[in-house]
Structure 1
Amino acid sequence: IKIRDLFCPCPETQEEPRIVILYGVDGIGKSTLARQVQKAWEKGQIYQDHFQHIFYFSCRELAQSNVISLAELITKAQAAPSAPLEQVLSRPEQLLFILDGIDEPRWVLQEQSTEVCLHWSQPQEVAALLGSLLGKTILPEASFLITTRTVDLQKLIPSLKQPRWVEVLGFSESGRKEYFYNYFTDESQALRALFLVESNPAVWTMCLVPWLSWLVCTCLKQQMESGEDLTLTTTTATGLCLHYLSQVIPAQCLRHQLRGICSLAAEGIWQGKSLFSLDDLRKHRLDKPIISAFLKMRILQKHPTSLTYSFIHLCFQEFFVAMSCALGDEEERSEHPNSIGGVRRLLDAYERHVLVRAPTRCFLFGLLSEQVGREMESIFTCQRAPELKQELLQWAKWEAQEMRFPRQPGFLELFHCLYETQDEEFVTEVMGHFQGSSVYVQTDMELLVFTFCIKFCHHVESLQLHEGGQPRSTWRPARVILHWESRISVPNDDRCFCSQKVMQVPVTDACWQLLFSILKDTGNLKELDLSGNPLSCSAVQSLSETLRCPCCHLETLRLRKMTVVSVTHNNLHSDFWLILPENDMKAVLTNLIKLGLANCGLTAEGCKDLAFGLSTSQTLTELELSFNMVTDAGAKHLCQRLRQQSCRLQRLQLVSCGLTFSCCQDLASMLSTSRSLKELDLQQNDLGDLGVRLLCEGLRHPACSLTLL
């Protein structure tokens, strides 16, 4: 979906949405996108016929006010009045309110009853005013664009009704490159940075998050300016934050002041604050010279209009909260050296949903990494709380045991936490408690953390990566689902509520390679379902190489509705097998027991290559080719190989494959000679009476072993 289409009518009802919610993980670019909407409108690029006035509000700044009137609210958003207020409010259907970060303040936006709605000039509590606007008791025809980090907005806005959900997924691969070229004005520097980052698949994947792209570029820029060799060995967000701190805080004496920054961040989280007054900073022993230093280092930023301070990004505040918990309060640790009460308090708060933010947990787990631990001790000149690892391990194991049914976004949040540790022993112990479930994966980053975790789940047997069903309309797209199980079947969780993806992020070749690598690392994986996924030629080659590996013990491969995107990305190969020559086909089928290729665009020519593999495979017993244009020519190729005694196939499905009576003689001949085939499905083919008679002759042959037709 494009920005200009956010408020387009829903195809099902032809009604325009009055509330659009942009949601996504931290640092993914929601606020930037919201500000771009306002700027694009001001330049006359979008919504000119739709909205006469657009007002942008930062909810963190609004939360600084106790009471405000609707008139003051609108005036606050206008640099200069464009029209008298009465005229602005006379056409509410032409008003768009942008509420950026509505989940940041800890408020409940409860609407006022219609009986007590006040005049637009009468002050009232900010939360009550916004609740009434969103509940449509004030200016019911007005439109809203909201950004949030959580989909659980019903607790924040009880009156929220039928919004359009739009998920922001971050940079595409080309978007990442464009960001690097924009950040480094010198093209040679941009090329150096890109070469380094692209050589590290994990870091390149992390760069789909704009905030992490900024962090990576900033670190590399500082190395270039100081004449250092470019290095970036970390693979986690926690590691990147510490790497950044190690570069911008050279003075050892100043590093002691980081304690004050940590306690400031923690107090803000517990009080629901992200904006701090000068008195707040002084309370944590941060005086003006120290504040100036942190402003220069871009750890803090100043807001001139409100004379307040905040962290350069909310994720930085979350990071320092994690540091505060891991290090503990200085006075508390002097009395209780092993105290990590802050960690327990924080985890308990998340379980009670007191806090809606997830990054702090990820950063806490990231501090368990040995590499990160060494850098942390170097910067903060002290060690982590000894009990930190055990406390987090107990919590993670409990979470894993509780997740026996599909639950979003809980699974991916836990996987992100485990990925940050980069601790194989830790992750193995936690993953041992998973019994199987479903999880939606839509970005490279999500696939990266899932792949890292699942390879340490040694009892996994089935892995499924496919579209989550057909979209009910263009406004309800199917999601990508990853499903894994251990001898149990768990129903897929259909969460296709009215949602759209902004900045579509397909899975890249690098992440397909990471996924296929678990077929080697997880030797007990028996089943892989890639149905419905567009794979590039490079990704197919990676899959082929993995299947040829002796360490791969895959028995079932399903590729229903799979398309192969050509290198030029301008067309689709209609035939998957054009990419795999015959010598590859033999190796690919070496260990497979079941192969599903329904609705893959397979043709008669592809069946020729596939048939070659059938005659050489000693393991393949089931083959699904339904809904492909196999035609009579393709069936002839298959029958020639099925007649050979070396073929072990027991079940063949050819539903709706364009077969006619012309292939029935070949089928009958195959039935009279094949000793292995037990089931043959020929439904929805126009065989005619003559074709059926020919098949019956084959069935009557004494050597026919078929039991189900």
Structure 2
Amino acid sequence: MAASFIPDFRLMWYLEELRRKEFVKFKELIRQEAWNRGLPPITGSEIRNVKRQGFAGLLKERYGEQQAWDLALSIFPKLNRKDLCEKAARESAIHAYRAHVKEKFSRLWCRESFTEVQGCFDQTITQEEGASLEDYFTPRAARKPHTVVLHGVPRIGKTRLLTKLMLAWSDGRLYRDRFSFVFYFCCRELKQLTATSLVGLISRERPDCIPITEIVAQPERLLFIIDSFEELCCTLSEPESELCSDWREERPVKTVLGSLLRRKILPEAALLLAVMPERPPGLQNILEHPNMQVLTGFQQSHRKQYFCCLFEDRGQALEAFSLVRDNEQLFTMCRVPLLCWMVGTCLKQELERGRDLAATCCRISSVFLSYVFNLFTPKDAHCPSQQDRDQLKALCSLAAEGMWTDTWVFGEEELGRNGIADADIPTLLDLKVFRKYSESVRAYSFIHMCLQEFYAAMFYLLDSPGGHPSPAVGCTEALLLTFLKKEKSSWVFVGSFLMGLLRESEQQKLDALFGSQRSRAVEPQLRGYLRSLTEQEDFLQQMEFPLLFYGLFEMQSDAFASQVMRGLRGVHLPIRENADLAVSAYCLKYCSNLREVCFQVSNVFEEERGLEPMISDLCVSGEIRILFEVLTSNPNLRNLTLTCTNLSHKDELVLCSTLTHPVCHIEQLLNSSFSSEGCRVLSFVLLRNNKLKVLDLSGNELEEGMPALCEALGHPDCTLQHLIKLCVNVGNFILWGHLCLAGLQPLSVPC
């Protein structure tokens, strides 16, 4: 019990539990025990008429909080108060564990927080974060016990938030009266185990002085946090007969955690699962009433605050932030705290070297290359030393192997094969190229997957990329083919980085980095290869058009884009983020022979609040209108499809205005969704546009707009030939009948 600590207010609670005679005896026994231990004595006059609160204060003042509690704890058995002894034992165990948690997670924070900026987002949980975390486990109706799933992209800050949670709980600032014990399981560490039990997992996370029976006695007061669950590659789809219900039974880690998550072990306990999106697939349908939460990283205000703390000069901070804000893709990346640190650090170094920030911020590949260049090039030099070049080439080789083998954590074998020696590791850790993967294993990863992708892209601009020691590493053409077909879901930027590095301004930096001009030989090779791909119909059926478009946007070469895009006849463009709009608009202007385009505009995260996203329809911003410019800039375009796209009324006006433009030759408008007000505007289009032949109003349930639309459709000047899937309510059915008598050919039965 010596390790335990309960403040004087807690001692006061125990004294209040004593009956009057017990309290009198307690005071006398305390005097005797203090004398036996050689402590400063308490006189009879001091305790004669003192009340409970006064006596607790006297003990604290005379002996200190810890020693006062130790004295009190030794007296409870002599009063035959077994209940107080047991309660004190539980309190002491909980406190001992809280102290253990605080020490452990303070170390973890220091190890992981190399991107911290003084005075900005420290380990103290914010009021906003605390409120959200408390709300996670607020009972909703009768749905108890509670399972929370916190998902977010890699390095968005899941582990960071969970570390703050554990520290806040250890200090009593979070879940104070909700959970007696909170256990954190990191699957990155646990996957090294073979067989274990839930008792075994708990024992790894608690001081030896806490009896396990005491922990599981109240399972409803337990919270299990399972971080990085995707590391186990667990599907949670095992038959129930393969799960276990005994918390003492040893089974594979996947089985134990699967049994916990599927409520076979300690079903009353609360669970918090942190995982990447859609890993494993269908997770929401497997778990019992999960509370799904999205972690979206830094809000706009956070990103601005971070820049202001990172730069010593506020004016420079706001200038850098403004340039980043203007680049939608770069600004979106800065939602990830680590990438926000990397971008801010890069721009700060660029300023110190007297470089133009606007040129650096123009594309994400420019920022990443500047960051790497500054990392390996001394401030007063124009290029790296030969030793630094060799180290950089080894990193590029390692990154490329990891991309092709789906490896993000590297051990001694992978490091050695690619030319990275043990002596290099401390330097790479100091440079913040690597981060230690775990405390128990000698393994390392790049500080972020995006940086691994960037190093891998640079590998293909080295002198001899074909000579890789791993046979799994493909050639440049294989890289582009795999990327554009998205055969590897983990590849996000590598193809865009490769194409972005072919810009003349980036080639000059690459020449300085590697001491060669290999990149200039790659550009015509890739241009010819991409042009041949875009002329193959079977490939186009498999290609992810946004990936190609982002690559061309990064490269910003009119000649290159024109040659690659001129063979395209049709494209399908899902619009998920604001950055997709500018990228699509840039590339579509080079599709000179385009005849069909399909836009699919989804709801996106326009801005976040706290830990939960505020969902906002991208179309409401009106920026989708830049996509409609393709209708007037390309005279060959005949078909426009708007899949899952809800237009704002302003966007409806822009689209209708574009459809009546003299150089717009759209003949088929498919899957379009118009409001009642939009249908009134559309009725004018039908009277003025003699080129539109097929109109698809799938899913429209029109009321007020129906009469105006029917009037236009029945007008002699309307040349529309087919109307598809118009939902007609009973009140407008007579109007629809008149249209059929007028000769309009519906391609499907009306609702």
Q: Please give the range of the TM-score, normalised by the shorter of the 2 chains.
A: 0.5 to 0.7
> How do residues 422-433 of structure 1 correspond to structure 2 at under 5 angstroms?
none
The CA distance in 2 between the partners of 1:391 and 1:31, in whole Å, is: 44
**Residue aligning to 1:18:** 147
The CA distance in 2 between the partners of 1:346 and 1:103, in whole Å, is: 25
* Structure with the greater alpha carbon radius of gyration: 2
SS in 1 for 2:280: coil
Q: Would you say 1:362 and 2:499 are equivalent positions? A: no
SS in 2 for 1:533: coil
Q: Which one of the candidate residues 504, 511, 527 is aligned to 2:615?
A: 504
The CA distance in 2 between the partners of 1:236 and 1:57, in whole Å, is: 39
**Residue aligning to 1:590:** none
Assess, with a 3 A threshold, how the Cα gap between structure 1 residues 166 and 550 changes in structure 2: closer, same or farther.
farther
Letter in 1 for 2:188: R
Letter in 1 for 2:630: I
The CA deviation at 1:245 is 0.8
The CA distance in 2 between the partners of 1:682 and 1:115, in whole Å, is: 53
Q: Which one of the candidate residues 329, 350, 362 is aligned to 1:223?
A: 350
Letter in 2 for 1:599: S
Higher relative contact order (CA 8 A, sep 6+): 1
Assess, with a 3 A threshold, how the Cα gap between structure 1 residues 367 and 134 changes in structure 2: closer, same or farther.
farther
CA contact 1:171–1:503 (8 Å) conserved in 2: no
Q: Which one of the candidate residues 646, 652, 657 is aligned to 1:533?
A: 646
The CA deviation at 1:684 is 1.0
TM-score (norm 2): 0.59
The CA distance in 2 between the partners of 1:8 and 1:560, in whole Å, is: 41
The CA distance in 2 between the partners of 1:332 and 1:549, in whole Å, is: 56
Q: Which one of the candidate residues 297, 305, 317 is aligned to 2:431?
A: 297
**Residue aligning to 1:258:** 392
**Residue aligning to 1:684:** 731
Assess, with a 3 A threshold, how the Cα gap between structure 1 residues 402 and 229 changes in structure 2: closer, same or farther.
closer
**Residue aligning to 2:315:** 188
Letter in 2 for 1:317: Q
Assess, with a 3 A threshold, how the Cα gap between structure 1 residues 616 and 310 changes in structure 2: closer, same or farther.
closer
Q: Which one of the candidate residues 619, 624, 627 is aligned to 2:702?
A: 627
**Residue aligning to 2:578:** 444
How well do the aligned residues superpose, as a CA RMSD in angstroms?
6.1
CA contact 1:168–1:503 (8 Å) conserved in 2: no
SS in 2 for 1:219: helix
The CA deviation at 1:518 is 3.4
The CA deviation at 1:552 is 4.7
Assess, with a 3 A threshold, how the Cα gap between structure 1 residues 516 and 705 changes in structure 2: closer, same or farther.
closer
The CA distance in 1 between the partners of 2:185 and 2:533, in whole Å, is: 37
Assess, with a 3 A threshold, how the Cα gap between structure 1 residues 326 and 522 changes in structure 2: closer, same or farther.
same
> How do residues 49-198 of structure 1 correspond to structure 2 at under 5 angstroms?
52-65=180-193, 69-77=197-205, 84-104=211-231, 125-134=252-261, 136-149=263-276, 151=278, 153=280, 176-177=303-304, 180-181=307-308, 183-184=310-311, 186-198=313-325
Assess, with a 3 A threshold, how the Cα gap between structure 1 residues 69 and 348 changes in structure 2: closer, same or farther.
farther
Q: Would you say 1:317 and 2:392 are equivalent positions? A: no
Letter in 2 for 1:295: L
Q: Which has the higher helix share?
A: 2
The CA distance in 1 between the partners of 2:235 and 2:726, in whole Å, is: 56
CA contact 1:71–1:120 (8 Å) conserved in 2: yes
CA contact 1:456–1:522 (8 Å) conserved in 2: no
The CA distance in 1 between the partners of 2:408 and 2:687, in whole Å, is: 67
Letter in 2 for 1:22: H
Assess, with a 3 A threshold, how the Cα gap between structure 1 residues 464 and 291 changes in structure 2: closer, same or farther.
closer
CA contact 1:547–1:554 (8 Å) conserved in 2: yes
For 1:59-107, what per-residue CA distance to the aligned partner results, in whole angstroms no more than 9, with x for missing partners?
Answer: 33444555655345335556x7896433333444554444333334678
TM-score (norm 1): 0.61
CA contact 1:222–1:247 (8 Å) conserved in 2: yes
SS in 2 for 1:231: helix
The CA distance in 2 between the partners of 1:7 and 1:454, in whole Å, is: 48
The CA deviation at 1:258 is 0.6
The CA distance in 2 between the partners of 1:113 and 1:706, in whole Å, is: 62
The CA deviation at 1:297 is 3.2
Q: Would you say 1:379 and 2:519 are equivalent positions? A: no
Deviation larger for 511-520 or 244-253: 511-520
**Residue aligning to 1:492:** none
CA contact 1:444–1:505 (8 Å) conserved in 2: no
Assess, with a 3 A threshold, how the Cα gap between structure 1 residues 28 and 157 changes in structure 2: closer, same or farther.
same
In the alignment, structure 1 segments of 5+ residues that lack a partner are: 468-478, 482-499, 562-596, 658-680
CA contact 1:71–1:85 (8 Å) conserved in 2: yes
Q: Which one of the candidate residues 393, 401, 408 is aligned to 2:538?
A: 401
The CA deviation at 1:313 is 1.6
The CA deviation at 1:140 is 4.8
The CA distance in 2 between the partners of 1:51 and 1:628, in whole Å, is: 54
The CA deviation at 1:18 is 3.5
The CA distance in 1 between the partners of 2:395 and 2:648, in whole Å, is: 46
SS in 2 for 1:504: strand
Letter in 2 for 1:519: L
CA contact 1:367–1:421 (8 Å) conserved in 2: yes
Deviation larger for 544-553 or 133-142: 544-553
Letter in 2 for 1:294: L
CA contact 1:170–1:503 (8 Å) conserved in 2: no
In the alignment, structure 2 segments of 5+ residues that lack a partner are: 1-130, 379-383, 606-610, 747-751
The CA deviation at 1:316 is 1.8
Letter in 2 for 1:401: D
For 1:283-305, what per-residue CA distance to the aligned partner results, in whole angstroms no more than 9, with x for missing partners?
Answer: 75546775444334322234784
The CA distance in 1 between the partners of 2:212 and 2:458, in whole Å, is: 48
Assess, with a 3 A threshold, how the Cα gap between structure 1 residues 618 and 196 changes in structure 2: closer, same or farther.
same
> How do residues 421-500 of structure 1 correspond to structure 2 at under 5 angstroms?
441-451=575-585, 458-465=593-600
Letter in 1 for 2:510: M
**Residue aligning to 2:105:** none
**Residue aligning to 1:476:** none
The CA distance in 2 between the partners of 1:192 and 1:656, in whole Å, is: 51
SS in 1 for 2:615: coil
The CA distance in 2 between the partners of 1:686 and 1:364, in whole Å, is: 56
The CA deviation at 1:192 is 1.0
> How do residues 602-621 of structure 1 correspond to structure 2 at under 5 angstroms?
none
The CA deviation at 1:220 is 1.6
The CA distance in 2 between the partners of 1:203 and 1:159, in whole Å, is: 35
Letter in 1 for 2:445: S
Letter in 2 for 1:380: F
The CA deviation at 1:242 is 1.3
> How do residues 328-339 of structure 1 correspond to structure 2 at under 5 angstroms?
332=467
**Residue aligning to 2:526:** 389
Deviation larger for 284-293 or 213-222: 284-293
The CA distance in 2 between the partners of 1:185 and 1:544, in whole Å, is: 51
The CA deviation at 1:358 is 1.6
For 1:334-372, what per-residue CA distance to the aligned partner results, in whole angstroms no more than 9, with x for missing partners?
Answer: x99x99746688789999999652236435644663344
Assess, with a 3 A threshold, how the Cα gap between structure 1 residues 650 and 150 changes in structure 2: closer, same or farther.
closer
Aligned residues: 592
The CA deviation at 1:261 is 2.0
CA contact 1:326–1:364 (8 Å) conserved in 2: no
The CA distance in 2 between the partners of 1:682 and 1:123, in whole Å, is: 63
The CA distance in 2 between the partners of 1:519 and 1:247, in whole Å, is: 44
**Residue aligning to 1:570:** none
Assess, with a 3 A threshold, how the Cα gap between structure 1 residues 601 and 10 changes in structure 2: closer, same or farther.
farther
For 1:472-506, what per-residue CA distance to the aligned partner results, in whole angstroms no more than 9, with x for missing partners?
Answer: xxxxxxx689xxxxxxxxxxxxxxxxxx9845365
Assess, with a 3 A threshold, how the Cα gap between structure 1 residues 17 and 599 changes in structure 2: closer, same or farther.
farther
Assess, with a 3 A threshold, how the Cα gap between structure 1 residues 439 and 46 changes in structure 2: closer, same or farther.
farther
The CA deviation at 1:281 is 5.3
For 1:643-665, what per-residue CA distance to the aligned partner results, in whole angstroms no more than 9, with x for missing partners?
Answer: 999x6576999x999xxxxxxxx
CA contact 1:239–1:366 (8 Å) conserved in 2: no
**Residue aligning to 2:675:** 598
